[in-house]
Structure 1
Amino acid sequence: MTLLAEARAPAEARTKPSRRKPRLAPWAFIGPAIGLFTVFFAYPLVASLVQSFQTDERGETVWAGLANYRRLLGDPLMPTALGNTAIILAIQVPLMLVLALLLAQILNQSWLRMRTGYRIAYFLPAVTTLVAYAIVFRVLLRADSGVLNQLLGLVGLPGVDWLNDPVWAKVALIASITWKWTGYNMVILLAGLQAIPREQYEAAAVDGAGPVTTYVKVVVPQLRPVILFCLITSTIGTLQLFDEPYLLTGGGPDNATLTPIIYLYQVGFQQLDFGYASAIAWVVVLLIGALSLLQFKALGRRG
């Protein structure tokens, strides 16, 4: 027994280090990612939540409880910002998704030539820098010498003050967002269409289904997860809308294009009221979570 124990001892000594290394190796690889996540995401998230219950008094940060959230209930600008966002969300997101689905369906046809060129052309706006495309739209929509008003003049129509009229400013903002992000959603929907087996179209044709019936009964049900993804991401992007209205209109005219994130920026970085800005941010987070959950419940169920 003693000789057997002595023979096993070196073997166990050799195997112990090799057993420990696989356990430490994963942590060595994911450690930097966890550190970056903690420093740049988790800590700011928790800090902003704590800060939403604080306020500044005479240069000192004091606990305010729910005072910032009660202040939101009586703030006239917050309903304005949410109302503008609701209008954009109700018009722009469905319009963009319908256009993206229509373009994806056309570009998925085998008879279409130069499909790759069309896909690149429609996707290019999504990778265009925000500042560049905002400058282009400001030139196009300028009231006095804008290209669009010049085209309207050629057909005998009066010019429109696109960026200084409350109604037309919303129209210009919706058009610019739709132009930029339709191609992005089109590529995602096109990938979903290409994942549908060709045999299912042939089976529907054998059963006597027409194009509309095939699209409703075969294509749409299988595209449901992809459509849901595009809908949720587009909704989140709309609720976080900042760059386009800030660069095109600055939130005006008369707060017609003011969004919650622009208002958050004004409160936090212009008025330096970070506690109230944090409360606005968390209200937006709760709205995003609630709308995403509703959309998932409505479209995530299987038929």
Structure 2
Amino acid sequence: MTRQERTGWLFTAPVLAIIALVFVLPTALALALSVTDYSIYALADWSNLHFVGLGNFTGLLSTPLFWRALGNTLLFAALGVPMAIGTSLFVALLLNDATVRWKPLWRVLLFAPYVTSVVATAVVWRILFNQRFGLINRALAAVGIAPVDWLGDPHVSIPAILLFVTWKIFGYNMIVFTAALSAVPGELIEAARLDGAGRWGRFRHVTLPAIGPTLLLATVMSVAGFLQIFAEPYVMTLGGPAQSTTTVLYFMFDEGFKWWNLGQASAVAFVLFLMILAVTIAQTRIGRRHEWL
């Protein structure tokens, strides 16, 4: 090992040690728990701890609530990712227009929800969605539409939460897309315009390929985020009504900290990890196919 390499390892060693302490070690312990029946009884007496192998994982296959939570999570991701990405990209394109005034102010205002507390904003939106005195239903009543039980009706609870989540997170992707759009060569767009390409043609054939890597990154991050959604349904609906907003992470939380089935909860965590890993690999391959990587 050269002197330069030793110096590099010396400077990175503290960071690697912290990563090992707060990530690698807990992950290894969680994996060990996932193959046991660790529960509150084992916490009191280690003699109650037994090795069950893949029993926790196979047990999930016969748990109806897990499948319900998995379906809800996939629905959140399938609906939420296009909403979040589409809204962020649309607003970024608007702010990229040279005729828009006060761009820094708009960016700050639109980015602000992302850095606010998710619990605090979820409580505010829960009040806005209130069927009796929420401002949203009051606005609907003003145009002659009957009040909607946004958080109490299983058919509209997921769209209501998705509306809040999109408002909460789209500012981050908007800033990322704004930076990507500013790096698109203006001469390419001007050349396409001179060749007769309309606004949609310039976006499809020039802008979109240029921001492809950024779009892939934002999509990967958004999918991972929506597959891990927890705080929003926990604060706004407690997984209801009728378990319509119970997600995989919410199910894991209940198993681990409500029923103290920590072995089962650890198994759920690794199932979720494998889901996110599989989706990320698939998205990466699609990006390579389109030469975005």
TM-score after normalising by structure 1: 0.90
Output the CA distance in 2 between the equivalents of 1:155 and 1:264. Answer: 42
What is the CA-CA distance between 1:192 and the residue it aligns to? 0.8
2:182 equivalent to 1:200? no
Tell me the equivalent position of 1:123. Answer: 111
Unaligned runs of 5+ in 1: 1-18
Distance 1:297 1:22, change over 3 A: closer
What is the CA-CA distance between 1:91 and the residue it aligns to? 1.2
Tell me the equivalent position of 2:235. Answer: 247
Tell me the equivalent position of 1:35. Answer: 17
Distance 1:73 1:215, change over 3 A: same
CA deviation digits over 1:46-103, x for unaligned, max 9? 1111211111486322211110011011010111011111111111110221111111
Conserved in 1, the CA contact under 8 Å of 2:76 and 2:227? no
Tell me the equivalent position of 1:191. Answer: 179
1:80 partner SS: helix
- The count of corresponding residues between Structure 1 and Structure 2 is 285
Tell me the equivalent position of 2:58. Answer: 70
Question: Identity across aligned pairs (percent)?
Answer: 35
Output the CA distance in 2 between the equivalents of 1:73 and 1:276. Answer: 12
Output the CA distance in 2 between the equivalents of 1:302 and 1:219. Answer: 14
2:255 equivalent to 1:264? no
2:246 partner SS: coil
Tell me the amino acid that sits aligned with residue 157 of structure 1. I
Conserved in 2, the CA contact under 8 Å of 1:228 and 1:300? no
2:286 equivalent to 1:298? yes
Conserved in 1, the CA contact under 8 Å of 2:38 and 2:261? yes
Larger-gyration structure (1/2): 1
Conserved in 2, the CA contact under 8 Å of 1:104 and 1:187? yes
Tell me the amino acid that sits aligned with residue 105 of structure 1. L
2:78 equivalent to 1:90? yes
What is the CA-CA distance between 1:164 and the residue it aligns to? 1.2
What is the CA-CA distance between 1:228 and the residue it aligns to? 0.7
2:34 equivalent to 1:46? no
Output the CA distance in 2 between the equivalents of 1:187 and 1:33. Answer: 29
Tell me the amino acid that sits aligned with residue 29 of structure 1. F
Unaligned runs of 5+ in 2: 43-47
Of residues 245, 250, 262, the one that matches 1:274 is 262
Match runs of 1:162-241 below 5 Å: 162-241=150-229
2:37 partner SS: strand
What is the CA-CA distance between 1:203 and the residue it aligns to? 2.0
Conserved in 1, the CA contact under 8 Å of 2:140 and 2:147? yes
What is the CA-CA distance between 1:23 and the residue it aligns to? 5.3
Output the CA distance in 2 between the equivalents of 1:120 and 1:23. Answer: 42
Of residues 63, 68, 74, the one that matches 1:80 is 68
TM-score after normalising by structure 2: 0.93
Conserved in 2, the CA contact under 8 Å of 1:52 and 1:278? yes
Q: 4+ runs of 1 displaced by more than 4 Å? A: 19-24
